[in-house]
A = this chain, B = another copy of it.
């Protein structure tokens, strides 16, 4: 439809919409937050810190965030398998903006 077309254009053109899409979703912020606090985490360490997430959602969202350039995945060819995740520089650059948003949210909650 025409509507979808204009929406797609928005997503491609508007930096804010782009940013929102990158951090939207139930699990993206918890993942960013966990990796921000811990620098590097293995798959199962991450899973244990994010309460309620399933393997399906975790692996899916991690893959999307890697493609988006937010996190980096480092795989070691060992038995048993070891995979470590951490934030890219861009992912780290995002945090101050999120903290600003959080301050605003805190203010709204206390109103």
Contacts and interface: CB of A to CB of B under 8 A. Distances in A.
A19 interface: yes
Interface of A: 2-3, 6-7, 14-20, 22-24, 26, 29, 51-52, 68-69, 90, 93-94, 96-98, 100-109, 111
How many copies of this chain does one complex carry?
2
Interface of A is mostly: helix
The 7 closest A-B CB pairs, nearest first, are: A19-B105, A15-B105, A15-B106, A16-B102, A97-B100, A18-B105, A15-B102
A16 B101 contact: yes
A102 B51 contact: no
A15 B109 contact: yes
B24 A108 contact: no
